[in-house]
Structure 1
Amino acid sequence: RTHEFLADRALTYTYTSRGREVTESQWDLFSRCELSSPALAELCAHARARGVQFFATPTSARGVAELAELGCDLVKNGSDCLGHLPLVRAMAASGMRTVLSTGMATLAEIDEAVRAFRGAGGRELVLLACTSSYPTPDGEVHLRRIPALAAAFGVPCGFSDHSAGTSAALGAVALGACMIEKHFTLDRALEGPDQHFSSDPREFAELVRGVRALERQLGASAIGPTAGELAARTAFRLSCVAAAPLRAGARLAADQILLRRPGDGLPPTAFDFLVGKRLARDVRAGEPLSLEHLAA
Structure 2
Amino acid sequence: MGGRRLGDDTPCFIAAEIGINHNGDMKIAHQAIDAAVDAGADGVKFQNYVTEDFLSDKSLTYRYISQGREIVESQYEMFKRCELSSMQLAELKAHCDERGVTFFSTPTGISSLRDLLELGVSLIKNGSDFLTHLDLIREMARSEVPTVLSTGMATVAEIDDAVGAYRSAGGDALLLLHCTSSYPTPPEDINLRRVPTLSQLFGLPVGFSDHTEGTVAAAGAVALGACFVEKHFTLNKHMPGPDHRFSTDPEEFGFLVRDIRNIESALGSSIVAPTKAEMMSRHDFRLSCTASRAMRLGEIVERNSMVFHRPGSGIPPKLSEALVGLTVKRDVPAGHRFSWEDFHER
- TM-score calculated relative to the size of structure 1: 0.98
**Contact kept in structure 2, 1:253 and 1:275, CA below 8 Å:** yes
| Deviation per residue, 1:14-71 (Å, 9 max, x gap) | 1111111111111111111110001000000000100100100011122222212211
- Aligned partner of 1:32 in structure 2 is 81
- Aligned partner of 2:98 in structure 1 is 49
- Of 48, 61, 64, which aligns to 2:110? 61
**1:194 and 2:228 matched:** no
**1:270 and 2:319 matched:** yes
Distance (whole Å) between structure 1 residues aligned to residue 204 and residue 65 of structure 2: 36
How far did 1:232 drift? 2.1
SS in 1 for 2:341: helix
- Aligned partner of 2:293 in structure 1 is 244
**Contact kept in structure 2, 1:65 and 1:94, CA below 8 Å:** no
**1:280 and 2:326 matched:** no
- Of 96, 100, 120, which aligns to 2:149? 100
How far did 1:93 drift? 0.6
Counterpart residue type for residue 83 of structure 1: T
| Deviation per residue, 1:195-231 (Å, 9 max, x gap) | 1111011111111111111111111111111111112
Distance (whole Å) between structure 2 residues aligned to residue 194 and residue 207 of structure 1: 18
- Aligned partner of 1:154 in structure 2 is 203
Aligned ranges 1:5-16 → 2 under 5 Å: 5-16=54-65
How far did 1:72 drift? 0.9
**1:205 and 2:254 matched:** yes
**1:255 and 2:292 matched:** no
- Aligned partner of 2:179 in structure 1 is 130
Runs of 4+ in 1 over 6 A off after TM superposition: none
Distance (whole Å) between structure 1 residues aligned to residue 224 and residue 78 of structure 2: 35
More off after superposition, 100-109 vs 264-273: 264-273
**Contact kept in structure 2, 1:129 and 1:158, CA below 8 Å:** yes
Distance (whole Å) between structure 1 residues aligned to residue 321 and residue 56 of structure 2: 81
Distance (whole Å) between structure 2 residues aligned to residue 294 and residue 81 of structure 1: 78
**Contact kept in structure 2, 1:89 and 1:120, CA below 8 Å:** yes
SS in 2 for 1:207: helix
Distance (whole Å) between structure 2 residues aligned to residue 39 and residue 275 of structure 1: 84
SS in 1 for 2:141: helix
More off after superposition, 205-214 vs 101-110: 205-214
Distance (whole Å) between structure 2 residues aligned to residue 275 and residue 116 of structure 1: 72
SS in 2 for 1:155: coil
How far did 1:95 drift? 0.5
How far did 1:88 drift? 0.6
How far did 1:271 drift? 1.2
SS in 2 for 1:38: helix
Flag structure 1 segments of 5+ consecutive residues without an equivalent. none
Aligned length in residues: 296
| Deviation per residue, 1:97-136 (Å, 9 max, x gap) | 1100000000110011011111111111111111101111
Counterpart residue type for residue 4 of structure 1: D
Greater RCO, 1 or 2 (C-alpha within 8 Å, sep 6+): 2
Aligned-pair identity (%): 54
SS in 2 for 1:196: coil
SS in 2 for 1:109: helix
Distance (whole Å) between structure 2 residues aligned to residue 87 and residue 164 of structure 1: 31
Distance (whole Å) between structure 2 residues aligned to residue 176 and residue 282 of structure 1: 59
**Contact kept in structure 2, 1:17 and 1:196, CA below 8 Å:** yes
Counterpart residue type for residue 153 of structure 1: F
SS in 2 for 1:128: strand
Counterpart residue type for residue 271 of structure 1: S
How far did 1:280 drift? 2.3
Counterpart residue type for residue 59 of structure 2: A
Aligned ranges 1:59-98 → 2 under 5 Å: 59-98=108-147
How far did 1:249 drift? 2.1
SS in 2 for 1:191: coil
Distance (whole Å) between structure 1 residues aligned to residue 232 and residue 220 of structure 2: 17
SS in 1 for 2:322: helix
